[in-house]
Each structure stands twice: as C-alpha cells, then as structure tokens.
C-alpha cells in the first residue's frame, strides 16, 4: 500500500518536473523559499464569468490540463453570471462563507476588492510570474496602492467597428478618425444608403472614449478633485450628445445593448463603438456573413487628437481568505501562462494579456489582429475603490442628458455632487 | 376536547393567588414551566426561527442605521488580514439626512413610490373587481376564463417582466410591429422617465390583477343571493344593487386585499428592477430599489441602506395602523 503511493507520487513528480520547466524561468532559481509546485495539494474553487456556452468550454479544457499537470490539486469549476458575480463575491467574501479561491473579475473592480481586503496581494507569489511579458495596459489594471492584486487574463478595449460594404456604398474610403468626421460620415451614409450611422450605448463605460479624448476623467486622485464636470468633460459629453442627436438610432433605454447589437449585425447601422467581446455575436448576423465585411479602427479622437479608449478585460484574483493559497497561486499562474492565453485567444477570440501570446496563429483571428493596435493606446480607468459606485450616478445623469431632460453642464454638475458623497475627501466644484 | 376537560379539571386545584402571599416571579415561572413545558417546547422552534430570521436581522438593521457602517469600515477578518471595525455611532444622523431631505434622494423617491402604490393598487383593484363581477355570473367556459386570467399570477415574475420588456422594445418589439401595421409610427415605449413609469405600472397591474380577481371572487360568492333577490324585489337597478349590496358585502375582503396589495406594491422590487435594467435615469426607482442600490452597488453603504429599510418599515407600519383603525371605526 505505502509503496504503491510513493511510486505513483514519484512518477507524478518526474512527469511534473519535466513539464514545469518550460513555464516560469524567474522564480525557479529562488530555491528554499518556493515550495515544490508538484507537492502542492488542495482544492481550488474557481468562479469563471466567461460566457457559459461559447467561452467556458475552453476554460474547462484548460482546467483539465491543469489537473493533469498537478494531480494533487483539484479544481472545482463554477460558472457564475457576470452580472451577478460582483454582489455574490462581495457577500461571500465579507462573510467568509462560500467564497471561491480564485475569481475571474472585471478589471474595474480590482481597486474596490483590494481596498476591502477581499483579494490577496500577489507580488512575489507563484501567481504573478514573468511580469515583464504582460502588456502594460492590462498589467496596470491590477495595481492598487503600489501592489498587484490580480493577474491579467484577457484584455479588451473599445474600438470602432464598421460595416465596410456600407462605407463603400457611401463612397467613404477610411473610417472616421475624429468625432466630427463620424458625424459627417453618418450623414453621407444616411444620404447614400438610408442606413443610420451608429447606435449610441448609454452605458457610462462607453462614454469614456469621449471623456478621455478631451483629456477628461471622472476624478483626479492626486489633486483630490472630482473632475467629471470640468470644462473638458462638458465638451466631451456635448460631443456625445451631438452624435446621438445627429447620427444615432434612438436608444431604447431598457434594451440598449441588445438593440445596439441587433441593429449593427443586421446592417441597420453602419458603425459602433464596441469591444472585441462583441465580435463573435456580430459575425452571427446577416450583415457579416462575410467576415471580411467587418472593419476595425481605433475610436475617433477628441480634440486632444489622440484616440483613447479604456482598458477593460478580466483579471484573475485570489481570495485573501483562501485555505489553499499555494494551489490558488499555481492555478492562477497556469491559467494566465502564455500557452493558456494563446489557447484561449485561438478558441474564444479574446485578446491575450501577454505579448508572447500574440503568436502567428493567434493573430490569424481578424478581431485580435484588428484590436491589437487599438490596445496600444488604451488607458486604465482611474484606480479608485469607488470607481464602480461612480459609474451609477454618471450613467443616470448621462441618460438624462441624452434624453434632453438635463443640460450637459447641469447633468454633470449633479453627477459631480453625487461623486462628492462617494468620495468624501474630494473637492467638488 | 379531552385536553380541555383535563385542563378545566385541574383548575380548581390551583392555589387562589389573591388570598395567599403571591409566589415569587421565579417560582411562578417554574410552575408555569412544570405545567406547560410541553406547550413551550412546541412553540420553541417557531420562536427560535422567528428570532433568527426576523428579529435578529431587524435588530441588527436598526443598530446599523445608527452608525456609519460601510463595507470599508466594518470589521474585516479574511485570511491573514484582521482589520477591526472602525465605524462608529452617529445617532440619528442618517435619519436626519433622510427626513430633512438633505440627501436629496428621499423625497423624490417617496413621492414616486406613493404615486406608484396608489396608482397600482387603485387600477388593480378596479380591474380585479370588474373581472370578478363578470366571472361571478353563470356563463359558458367560466373555468377556462378563470384559468386564463390566473396565468399572470402563475408565471414567475421575472419571466412575465422579461416578456413585457421584449414587447415594449422600441426597435424590435411586438407593440411597434402591431401599430406599424395599422400605419402609426413606432413609439419609444420606455424612452422617457414618464413612459417608463407608465410601463412599470402597466406591468405591475398585469401581475397583480389575478390575485385581486380571485380574492374578490371569493368575497362575491360569500354574499348571500337573497340580498340581491330582496333588492331586486324592492326595484333596485343593477347599479343600485352593486353600490348597496355588492360593495358593502365586499368590504371585509376589500379592506384586506387593499392593505396587502399596498404593502406589496410599496415594496415591489422585481418589476421595476427587471423591466428597466440599469439603463435608467433613476427616476423610476422606488424607495426599495433605491435602498438596494445603496446596499449592493459599488462599496456597500450598510448604514444608509439600513436606515432606508427602517424608514420604509416605519412608513408601512404607520400606514397599516392608520388604515386598520379607519376600517374599524367605519365598520363599527
């Protein structure tokens, strides 16, 4: 009996030793401190928020590989809907009951979770290895007060997706590079083809390219100032309102996102500000039966002249109270390794966060090739714990502005006032 | 029956309290325990469950409402991190913020909540009454009608609400398809705060009518037919019969269902939350959905949400007390 076990263990150790070599190069030398990964055991509960039908199979296959590589670690995979995961995680993390060991989370929530001590700092752990390889934008989303609390898993940003055929019919040769060109192009498209230019998404995340393009942001943490109603922000929202009034289909506020997608993929609007996650859905529509018809461009630039979109995406974070931290670190490391990321990118079409994962095979995917250059100009959201809370009042006021129920200045002033309540030590003007 | 007689048989043996010096409190409790321990044991589970599920959370909510607790300053004890609680008592500050209107959210929300409740209950009751009267007559396919009208009640709220959301869709919804066929232009059914308010009321009425109808139908059937016959003999018109026989006869049912449905509608969370999603200007938030946002969006404001919860509870308690006493004086 005893002998049997040790033989198996030894065999496993040999196999693992052979396979583990390729992965991390930096931490391997640091002997004594690091525990032998092959000896780590335990159960890792993983909350995945990827699309349960389309994306999850890829992650499950990777988990099977992981369990093969580390036979002493068992992974308990759970798919949690991304719209409810935040609340679920916060409740279970605070009470310590039922929280997962590893969670896939939106990058925007990292500062909040970190400030509440829900997720563990990962600097110097097995989870965060080979950081030099990560794309700067996604890596920056993991930082809170100088420490890293997550590992970038997939990244995204917003770009301009457009219907090439409609552009050709309207005699437009290149996608618009400024918001004013977008308005002019919409007018041309409407005149020549009868199709509306765009569909604005009233979600505040989709307002960020406008704000960033004017050099505006929600708040300025160094000056401790709420800047959402600065003159630059007013200019940005005025531009957004102008595009809505001149070039967009009317928003159905209760169904904004779904209608936006349906309108674009059935050819009822010519261009969208959207992210790479939507491409899979776009390609199911009648307008993009020929995948080459879908064009990719950076978001139009504001008056600063630079196209700037927010860095979005998903990070893997480790629950601070995990009973199996070493196993959780190893799991995180495995799922964000170059090989795993390339695999995810090929199968799911999401953008990897490691430069080395942009292999020739990965870049064959038109949406990854299309979005990769856009990613270089993306910038993270302001890293405040309250950033998730700030989006709600901003969105409510933005909707009022689009509906014409509030002036741009009035709406943003009112948002700034709400921001002031959420950021008590910040100055509001 | 037997227990009652046993009980009565025992009673004469009891010491007459007024004559002898009264036994101590402990003693009388011990005696009550000796005699009724069985009853206590039977009641205990309910008391414990109520205590754990209702009284403790309620008490804790009241406690939180006097503090400034948020997710950031409550005690955190996760893995290696131990952060002691740093929130403190703020007395009535939260209530003052709410009731003085300083938070800027309460009165607009309260106003809409009251309009929403009155409109929903009023319309639901009227339609429910009308349908109940229609269905209370002998007619063909009565069972089929009743079943069809109960359907909205049988469908889970979120399924019904999502169906309505699809129908209201201004670009791909069935309502616009229908009016386009007639030649009318498409409408943005959920486009403005006012339209959204109308829409949520419509959906809530749709969900609430079956309950009203069934309850009132029960009430109608308990009105003795002789009263109608007598009224008819006296030459009362159908309208007179309705106002002088049906309405008074329904009063006990009416007062109960109106009270119930007021409380329900006041706290009707799913319809507003699910029909409009998050892409609203916040104007359609009633007090409950607003408190929910406080508690669960971003960094949780436990104290703020708890104070809203307590204020909502107090409003409803005050309303129920007032309403019940009105009904009592009316009926006596």
pLDDT digits (tens, 9 = 90+) for B42-71: 999 999 999 999 999 999 999 999 999 988
Task: With respect to residue B211, please indicate whether it lies within any of the assigned structural domains.
Answer: yes
Task: With respect to residue B113, please indicate whether it lies within any of the assigned structural domains.
Answer: yes
Count CA atoms closer than 13 A to B4's CA, side-chain side. 1
Q: Between residues A63 and B189, which one has the greater pLDDT?
A: A63
Give residues 230 to 259 of A whose Cβ lies within 8 Å of B: 249-257, 259
CB contact under 8 A, B298 and A256: no
Interface contact A98, partner B, CB < 8 A: no
Is residue B51 within 8 Å of residue A70, measured between CB atoms?
no
- Identify which of A270, A256, A242 has the alpha carbon closest to the alpha carbon of residue A160: A270
Q: Which residue of A90, A120, A249 is in closest CB contact with B300? A: A90
Give residues 284 to 303 of B whose Cβ lies within 8 Å of A: 293, 296-300
Is residue A223 scored above 80 in pLDDT?
A: yes
Task: With respect to residue A2, please indicate whether it lies within any of the assigned structural domains.
Answer: no
Is residue A151 within 8 Å of residue A128, measured between CB atoms?
yes
CB contact under 8 A, B168 and A93: no
Is residue A100 scored above 90 in pLDDT?
A: yes
- Identify which of A277, A254, A251, A275 has the alpha carbon closest to the alpha carbon of residue A198: A251
Chain B residue with Cα closest to A203: B279
| Interface predicted TM-score of the whole assembly (ipTM), two decimals | 0.77
Task: With respect to residue A33, please indicate whether it lies within any of the assigned structural domains.
Answer: no
Coil, helix or strand at residue B307: helix
d(CA A199, CA A181): 16
Query: Are both A178 and A242 inside the same structural domain?
Result: yes
d(CA B110, CA A214): 38
Is residue A28 scored above 70 in pLDDT?
A: no
Computed over every residue of chain A, the mean pLDDT equals 88
Q: Which residues make Cβ contacts (< 8 Å) with residue A415, sequence separation at least 6? A: A228, A229, A393, A394, A396, A397, A398
Task: With respect to residue B25, please indicate whether it lies within any of the assigned structural domains.
Answer: no
CB contact under 8 A, A259 and B282: no
Interface test with A, best of B57, B60, B72, B79 (most A CBs within 10 A): B79
Given this model, what pLDDT does residue B149 score? 80
Among A341, A363, A379, residue at a domain's last position: A379
Query: Are both A198 and A278 inside the same structural domain?
Result: yes
d(CA A293, CA A296): 10
Query: Are both A203 and A64 inside the same structural domain?
Result: no
Distance of CA B58 to the CA centre of its chain: 17
Cβ neighbours, 10 Å, residue A124: 14
Structural domain count of chain B: 1
Q: Which residue of A87, A120, A254 is in closest CB contact with B79? A: A120
Q: Any idea what DSSP says for residue B12? A: G
Q: Which residue of B83, B190, B279 is in closest CB contact with A117? A: B83
- The lowest-confidence range among A81-95, A124-138, B16-30, B95-109 is B16-30
Please list every residue in chain B whose beta carbon sits closer than 8 Å to the beta carbon of residue A249: 171
Interface contact B188, partner A, CB < 8 A: yes
Q: What percent of chain B has pLDDT over 70?
A: 92
Cα angle: A331, vertex A335, A341; to 5 degrees: 170
d(CA A119, CA A329): 12
Q: Which residues make Cβ contacts (< 8 Å) with residue A303, sequence separation at least 6? A: A213, A214, A235
Is residue B276 within 8 Å of residue A254, measured between CB atoms?
yes
Given this model, what pLDDT does residue B192 score? 83
CB contact under 8 A, A320 and B275: no
Is residue A199 within 8 Å of residue A272, measured between CB atoms?
yes
d(CA B300, CA B79): 21
d(CA B300, CA B320): 30
Is residue A312 within 8 Å of residue A106, measured between CB atoms?
yes
Interface test with B, best of A84, A115, A255 (most B CBs within 10 A): A255
In terms of C-beta density within 10 A (0-12 exposed, 13-18 middle, 19 or more buried), how is residue A423 classed?
buried
Task: With respect to residue B280, please indicate whether it lies within any of the assigned structural domains.
Answer: yes
Please list every residue in chain B whose beta carbon sits closer than 8 Å to the beta carbon of residue A403: 191-193, 281
Interface contact B60, partner A, CB < 8 A: no
Interface contact B275, partner A, CB < 8 A: yes
- The lowest-confidence range among A17-26, A213-222, A410-419 is A17-26
Query: Are both A196 and A284 inside the same structural domain?
Result: yes
Interface contact B244, partner A, CB < 8 A: no
Please list every residue in chain A whose beta carbon sits closer than 8 Å to the beta carbon of residue B176: none
Is residue B14 scored above 80 in pLDDT?
A: no
- Identify which of A379, A387, A216 has the alpha carbon closest to the alpha carbon of residue A309: A379
Interface contact B76, partner A, CB < 8 A: yes
Task: With respect to residue B100, please indicate whether it lies within any of the assigned structural domains.
Answer: no
Residue numbers of the domain that contains B270? 105-331
What CATH code is carried by the domain that includes residue B170? 1.10.3720.10
Residue A281, sorted as left (phi over 0), alpha (psi -120 to 50) or beta, turns out to be alpha
- Identify which of B284, B66, B322 has the alpha carbon closest to the alpha carbon of residue B192: B284
Give residues 347 to 386 of A whose Cβ lies within 8 Å of B: 385-386
Give residues 167 to 226 of A whose Cβ lies within 8 Å of B: 202-203
Query: Are both A105 and A201 inside the same structural domain?
Result: no
Assign B22 a pLDDT band (cuts: 50, 70, 90): low
Task: With respect to residue A10, please indicate whether it lies within any of the assigned structural domains.
Answer: no
Q: Which residue of A249, A255, A417 is in closest CB contact with B169? A: A255
The whole-number average pLDDT for the span A100-126 is 93
Is residue A153 within 8 Å of residue A318, measured between CB atoms?
no
Q: How far is B279 from chain A (nearest CA, A)?
A: 6
d(CA B136, CA A295): 64
d(CA B299, CA B331): 50
Is residue A255 within 8 Å of residue A232, measured between CB atoms?
no
Given this model, what pLDDT does residue B158 score? 85
Q: What is the pLDDT of residues A363-420, one digit of tens each?
A: 998 889 989 888 888 888 888 888 888 998 999 999 999 988 899 999 999 999 999 9
Task: With respect to residue B83, please indicate whether it lies within any of the assigned structural domains.
Answer: no
Query: Are both A214 and A263 inside the same structural domain?
Result: yes
Task: With respect to residue A8, please indicate whether it lies within any of the assigned structural domains.
Answer: no
Q: Which residues make Cβ contacts (< 8 Å) with residue A354, sequence separation at least 6? A: A130, A133, A134, A135, A336, A338, A341
Its sign, for the CA torsion A165, A169, A173, A174, is negative
Q: Between residues A143 and A8, which one has the greater pLDDT?
A: A143
CB contact under 8 A, B279 and A320: no
Q: Which residue of B78, B279, B298 is in closest CB contact with A253? A: B279
- The lowest-confidence range among A187-201, B170-184, B272-286 is B272-286
DSSP H helical ranges for A266-324: 279-282
Q: How far is B16 from chain A (nearest CA, A)?
A: 54
Query: Are both A191 and A297 inside the same structural domain?
Result: yes
Is residue B312 within 8 Å of residue B291, measured between CB atoms?
yes
Which tokens belong to A405?
A: 């129920």
Query: Are both A183 and A239 inside the same structural domain?
Result: yes
Is residue A353 within 8 Å of residue A138, measured between CB atoms?
yes
Interface contact B193, partner A, CB < 8 A: yes
Please list every residue in chain A whose beta carbon sits closer than 8 Å to the beta carbon of residue B167: none
Given this model, what pLDDT does residue B21 score? 53
The separation between the first and the last C-alpha atoms of chain B, rounded to the nearest angstrom, is 34
Please list every residue in chain A whose beta carbon sits closer than 8 Å to the beta carbon of residue B85: none
Given this model, what pLDDT does residue B13 score? 45
Task: With respect to residue A108, please indicate whether it lies within any of the assigned structural domains.
Answer: yes
> What's the Cα-to-Cα distance from B14 to each of A47, A388, B3, B9, rounded to whole Å?
65, 68, 17, 10
Residue numbers of the domain that contains A82? 39-157+311-379
CB contact under 8 A, A250 and B190: no
Q: Which residue of B74, B279, B293 is in closest CB contact with A256? A: B279
Query: Are both A100 and A188 inside the same structural domain?
Result: no
Q: Which residues make Cβ contacts (< 8 Å) with residue B239, sequence separation at least 6? A: none
Chain B residue with Cα closest to A406: B281
Which tokens belong to A421?
A: 């309540």
Interface contact A112, partner B, CB < 8 A: yes
Task: With respect to residue B241, please indicate whether it lies within any of the assigned structural domains.
Answer: yes
Given this model, what pLDDT does residue B7 score? 44
Residue that is written with structure tokens 């310590």 in the block: A96
Query: Are both A138 and A167 inside the same structural domain?
Result: no
CB contact under 8 A, B192 and A115: no
DSSP string of A64-107, one letter each residue? HHHHHH-TTEEEEEEE--TTTHHHHHHHHHHHTSS--SEEEEEG
Helices then strands, each counted (H, E), chain B: 15, 2
Task: With respect to residue A7, please indicate whether it lies within any of the assigned structural domains.
Answer: no
DSSP string of A13-70, one letter each residue? HHHHHHHHTTT-STGGG-TTTSPPGGG--EEEEEEE-S-TTTTHHHHHHHHHHHHHH-
d(CA A169, CA A315): 41
Coil, helix or strand at residue A301: strand
Which tokens belong to A390?
A: 């700030």
Q: What is the pLDDT of residues A164-204, one digit of tens each?
A: 999 999 999 999 999 999 999 999 999 999 999 999 999 99
What CATH code is carried by the domain that includes residue A127? 3.40.190.10
Task: With respect to residue A60, please indicate whether it lies within any of the assigned structural domains.
Answer: yes
Task: With respect to residue B168, please indicate whether it lies within any of the assigned structural domains.
Answer: yes
In degrees rounded to 5, what are phi and psi of residue B81?
A: -95, 125
Interface contact A266, partner B, CB < 8 A: no
The whole-number average pLDDT for the span A212-225 is 92
Q: Any idea what DSSP says for residue A125? A: S
Query: Are both A107 and A251 inside the same structural domain?
Result: no
Interface contact B84, partner A, CB < 8 A: no
Given this model, what pLDDT does residue A7 score? 42
d(CA B116, CA B247): 25
Cβ neighbours, 10 Å, residue A345: 25
Structural domain count of chain A: 2
Task: With respect to residue A52, please indicate whether it lies within any of the assigned structural domains.
Answer: yes
CB contact under 8 A, A389 and B74: no
Coil, helix or strand at residue A270: strand
Interface contact B74, partner A, CB < 8 A: yes
Residue that is written with structure tokens 């921001």 in the block: A419
Chain B residue with Cα closest to A89: B296
d(CA A348, CA A56): 9
d(CA A75, CA A71): 10
Is residue A153 scored above 90 in pLDDT?
A: yes
Coil, helix or strand at residue B135: helix
Please list every residue in chain B whose beta carbon sits closer than 8 Å to the beta carbon of residue A395: 278-279
Computed over every residue of chain B, the mean pLDDT equals 86
d(CA A104, CA A151): 10
Assign A290 a pLDDT band (cuts: 50, 70, 90): very high
Is residue A272 within 8 Å of residue A281, measured between CB atoms?
no
Cα angle: A279, vertex A282, A286; to 5 degrees: 150
Tell me the pairing of strands A312-318 and A219-220: unpaired
Query: Are both A303 and A228 inside the same structural domain?
Result: yes
| Strand partners for A155 | A313, A351
Q: How far is A414 from chain B (nearest CA, A)?
A: 11
Size of the A and B interface in Cβ pairs below 8 Å: 116
């Amino acid at each position: 009996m005893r002998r049997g076990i040790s033989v198996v263990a030894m065999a496993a150790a040999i196999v693992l030793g052979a396979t583990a070599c390729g992965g991390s190069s930096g931490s391997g030398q640091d002997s004594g401190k690091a525990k032998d990964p092959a000896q780590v055991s335990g159960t890792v509960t993983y909350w995945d928020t990827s699309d349960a039908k389309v994306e999850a199979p890829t992650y499950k296959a990777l988990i099977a590989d992981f369990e093969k590589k580390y036979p002493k670690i068992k992974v308990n995979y759970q798919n949690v809907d991304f719209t409810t995961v935040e609340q679920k995680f916060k409740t279970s993390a605070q009470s310590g009951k039922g929280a997962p060991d590893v969670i896939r989370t939106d990058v925007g929530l990292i500062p909040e979770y970190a400030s509440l001590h829900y997720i563990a700092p990962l600097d110097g752990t097995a989870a965060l290895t080979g950081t030099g390889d990560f794309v700067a934008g996604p890596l920056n989303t993991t930082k809170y007060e100088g420490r890293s609390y997550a590992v970038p898993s997939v990244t995204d940003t917003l770009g301009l997706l457009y219907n090439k055929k409609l552009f050709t019919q309207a005699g437009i040769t290149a996608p618009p590079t400024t918001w004013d060109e977008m308005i002019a192009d919409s007018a041309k498209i409407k005149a020549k083809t009868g199709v509306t230019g765009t569909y604005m998404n009233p979600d505040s995340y989709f307002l960020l390219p406008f704000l960033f393009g004017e050099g505006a942001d929600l708040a300025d943490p160094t000056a401790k100032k709420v800047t959402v109603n600065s003159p630059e922000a007013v200019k940005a929202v005025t531009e957004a309102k102008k595009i809505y009034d001149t070039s967009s289909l009317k928003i159905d506020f209760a169904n904004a996102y779904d209608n936006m997608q349906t309108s674009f993929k059935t050819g009822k609007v010519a261009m969208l500000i959207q992210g790479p996650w939507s491409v899979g859905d776009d390609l199911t529509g009648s307008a993009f039966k020929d995948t080459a018809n879908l064009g990719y461009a950076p978001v139009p630039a504001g008056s600063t002249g630079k196209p700037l979109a927010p860095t979005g995406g998903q990070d893997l974070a480790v629950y601070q109270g995990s009973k199996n931290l070493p196993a959780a670190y190893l799991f995180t490391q495995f799922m964000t390794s170059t090989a795993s990321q390339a695999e995810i990118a090929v199968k799911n079409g999401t953008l990897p966060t490691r430069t080395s994962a942009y292999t020739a095979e990965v870049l064959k995917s038109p949406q990854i090739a299309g979005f990769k250059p856009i990613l270089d100009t993306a910038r993270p959201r302001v890293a405040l714990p309250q950033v998730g809370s700030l989006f709600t009042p901003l969105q409510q006021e933005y909707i009022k502005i689009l509906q014409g129920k509030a002036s741009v200045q009035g709406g943003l002033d009112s948002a700034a006032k709400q921001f002031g309540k959420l950021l008590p030590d910040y100055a509001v003007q | 029956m037997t227990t009652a007689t046993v009980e009565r048989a025992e009673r004469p043996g009891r010491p007459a309290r007024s004559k002898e010096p009264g036994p101590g409190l402990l003693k009388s409790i011990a005696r009550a325990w000796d005699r009724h321990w069985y009853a206590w044991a039977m009641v205990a589970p309910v008391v414990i469950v109520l205590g754990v599920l209702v009284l403790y959370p309620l008490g804790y909510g009241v406690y939180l409402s006097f503090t400034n607790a948020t997710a950031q300053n409550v005690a955190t004890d996760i893995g290696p991190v131990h952060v002691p609680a740093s929130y403190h008592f703020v007395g009535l500050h939260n209530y003052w913020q709410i009731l003085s209107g300083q938070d800027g959210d309460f009165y607009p929300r309260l106003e809409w909540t009251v309009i929403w409740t009155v409109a929903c209950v009023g319309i639901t009751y009227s339609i429910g009454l009308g349908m109940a009267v229609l269905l209370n007559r002998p007619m063909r396919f009565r069972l089929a009608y009743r079943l069809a009208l109960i359907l909205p009640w049988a469908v889970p709220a979120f399924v019904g609400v999502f169906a309505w959301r699809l129908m209201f869709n201004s670009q791909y919804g069935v309502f616009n398809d229908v009016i386009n066929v007639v030649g009318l232009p498409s409408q943005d059914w959920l486009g403005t705060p006012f339209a959204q308010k109308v829409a949520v009321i419509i959906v809530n009425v749709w969900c609430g009518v079956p309950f009203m109808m069934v309850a009132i139908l029960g009430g109608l059937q308990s009105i003795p037919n002789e009263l109608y016959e007598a009224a008819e003999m006296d030459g009362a018109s159908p309208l007179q019969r309705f106002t002088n026989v049906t309405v008074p006869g329904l009063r006990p049912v009416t007062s109960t269902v109106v009270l119930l449905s007021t409380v329900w509608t006041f706290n009707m969370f799913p319809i507003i939350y699910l029909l409009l999603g998050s892409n609203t200007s916040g104007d359609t938030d009633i007090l409950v959905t607003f408190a929910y946002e406080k508690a669960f969006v971003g960094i949780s404001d436990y104290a703020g949400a708890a104070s809203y919860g307590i204020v909502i509870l107090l409003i409803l308690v005050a309303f129920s007390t007032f309403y019940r006493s009105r009904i009592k004086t009316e009926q006596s």
